[in-house]
Amino acid sequence: MLGVIGGSGFYSFFGPEARSVDLDTPYGAPSGPVTLGLVGDHEVAFLPRHGAGHEYSAHTVPYRANMWALRAVGVRRIFAPCAVGSLTPQWGPGTVVVPDQLVDRTRGRDDTYFDSGGVHVEFADPYCPMLRAAVTGRPDVVDGATMVVIQGPRFSTRAESRWFAAAGFGLINMTGYPEAVLARELEMCYAAIALVTDLDAGVEVGSGVRTVDVFAEFTRNIGPFKTLVRAAIDRVAPERSCTHCLAHEGVELPFELP
């Protein structure tokens, strides 16, 4: 089964024919019910990252519960659409970018399932190459960028934004971590699909990021963005063959994966 985690403004993916499943996990309840439906020949599980009504801000999203719930219903490969700011002037609002690296600038988030057992997870390349390829083959998608993930809920100062841009980061986001590493710990393939909603504070003199503008831009693009996600799903092979994201080969885990 494939999974889709919807970001800000991406709260639904199926029509009324979808089946909704309420789940609980050892880490509490996920952000909302998981809905199950079909995209082409693929069975797909959808979960709104922030809740169906955006009840959770980026720093309060129950990331561990979300990822555990998706694996529990059978998901092994995940597309993660998200809203991002651009730190690169040529990537204006409406641009779709598939990052290939991330930098964690969050703090205090529960970012592992292995609080015991001495398990270490390889994470040099945080995104699944096969899932990335299913999206980056489209001519209207930018292939590759480093996404810096900040704590939120506030946006960056202008100095912070310029600092991130000077370091070579291309995108800025609040939810891409710990989602990606939790997927790796659960041996699920994971790829982010980033929709640029704004130029960050340091990119343009006099500009700044406002929540109302971010949501307005996402709303303007949500139709084509969902179409792109469905097209990516159609390009995914029926059977999973990726070994890149199988992080625990030869390792004895302190618990069984769901």
pLDDT (tens, 9 = 90+) of the chain, 258 residues, equals 999 999 777 888 898 888 999 999 999 999 999 999 999 999 999 999 999 888 999 999 999 999 999 999 999 999 999 999 999 989 989 999 999 999 999 999 999 999 987 889 999 999 999 999 999 988 889 999 999 999 999 999 999 999 999 999 999 999 999 999 999 999 999 999 999 988 887 777 556 666 777 767 767 778 898 999 999 999 999 999 999 999 998 888 888 899
**CB atoms < 10 A from the CB of 89, how many?**
10
Query: pLDDT tens for residues 146-164?
Result: 999 999 999 999 999 999 9
Instruction: Specify the pLDDT at position 207.
Output: 65
Instruction: Copy the structure tokens of residue 73.
Output: 């219903």
For residues 122 and 32, what is the distance between their CA atoms, to the nearest angstrom? 30
| DSSP conformation class of 60 | G
Q: Is 112 annotated as a binding residue?
A: no
| Catalytic status, residue 213 | no
Residue 221 confidence (pLDDT): 73
213 annotated among ligand-binding-site residues: no
User: Which tokens go with 182?
Assistant: 């939790």
Q: Is 125 among the annotated ligand-binding positions?
A: no
User: What pLDDT was estimated at residue 145?
Assistant: 98
Instruction: Judge contact between 173 and 82, C-beta under 8 A.
Output: yes
Residues 207 and 184: their CA atoms lie apart, in Å, by 36
Beta bridge pairs of residue 172? 85, 148
What global pTM score does this model have?
0.94
Helix (H, G, I), strand (E, B) or coil at 68: helix
Does the annotation count 198 as an active-site position? yes
User: Please, where are the H alpha helices in 167-258?
Assistant: 176-185, 211-234
The pLDDT of residue 187: 97
Q: What is the pLDDT of residues 101-160, one digit of tens each?
A: 999 999 999 999 999 878 899 999 999 999 999 999 888 899 999 999 999 999 999 999
- The first and second tokens of residue 143, run together, are 């292939």
Is the domain 2-235 a CATH 3.40.50.1580 member?
Answer: yes
Distances (CA, A) of 214 to 20, 85, 158, 169, 173: 29, 9, 17, 20, 12
**Choosing from 41, 110, 140, 200, which is the catalytic residue?**
200
Rounded distance, CA 132 to CA 236, Å? 10
The pair of structure tokens assigned to 80 is 């993660």
Say if residue 157 carries a ligand binding annotation: no
**SS (HEC) of 85-146:** EECCCCCCCCCEEECCEEEEECCCCCCCCCCCCCCCCCCCCCCCHHHHHHHHCCCCEEECCE
Check whether 12 is labelled as a binding-site residue.
no
Please state whether 116 falls in left (phi above 0), alpha (psi between -120 and 50) or beta: beta
Residues 188, 76: contact at Cβ < 8 Å?
yes
Domain ranges of the chain: 2-235
Structure tokens at 18: 């979808």
Of these residues, 104, 110, 198, 234, which one is catalytic? 198
